[in-house]
Amino acid sequence: MTPNKNLLSGSTTLLVLSLLAQGDRYGYEMIAALDAKSDHTFALKEGTLYPILHTLEKDGAVRAYDKAAPSGKQRRYYHLTKKGETLLREQKEAWISFSQTVTAIVTEGAAPAFAL
C-alpha cells in the first residue's frame, strides 16, 4: 500500500550517482547502502539497479572495473567520471527544486510545523 515504489521512480539514478560520489562501490553494496541510509523505507532492487548501472556506463557517467574481494570473490566496482559528476549536479538541482516545490504545495495552508 505504501507508494514508495512509485515515489522512487525517477530518483533512482540520482541516488546511485550520489552514492558513487562518495567513493567507488559495487552493485550489491549499493543496495545494502541505500537500504541502510533510508532506514529500510525504500530498497532498490537488483532488477532495477543493474540496468541503471549499465546505462550509466554506456553513457560514460561511470566507469566499471573488476576487483577481487579479500575473499577472492570477483566484484564489479563503479567509478564516477567527470561526466557523471556533471550529471549528478544537474539531477541534484532538479531534485531539490522539484521536491521543495511539491512540499510547498502539499503543506500549503497547513501549519508550517515541519522542522526539516
The stretches of the chain forming alpha helices (DSSP H) are 4-8, 12-21, 27-37, 46-58, 82-106
Stretch that binds its own copies, among 4-12, 48-56, 68-76, 78-86 (CB under 8 A): 4-12
Q: What is the DSSP letter of 109?
A: T
Q: Which residues does residue 65 pair with via DSSP β-bridges, in sequence order? A: 77
List the x/- string, 12-51, binding to DNA by CB under 7 A: xx------------xxxx------------xxxxxxx-xx
- Binding of DNA by 11 (CB under 7 A): yes
**Would you state the cell numbers that stand for residue 93, as one nine-digit string?**
538541482
- Binding of its own copies by 109 (CB under 8 A): yes
Size of the site for DNA (CB under 7 A): 32
Stretch that binds DNA, among 52-60, 81-89, 93-101, 105-113 (CB under 7 A): 52-60
Report the C-alpha gap between 3 and 85 in whole angstroms: 30
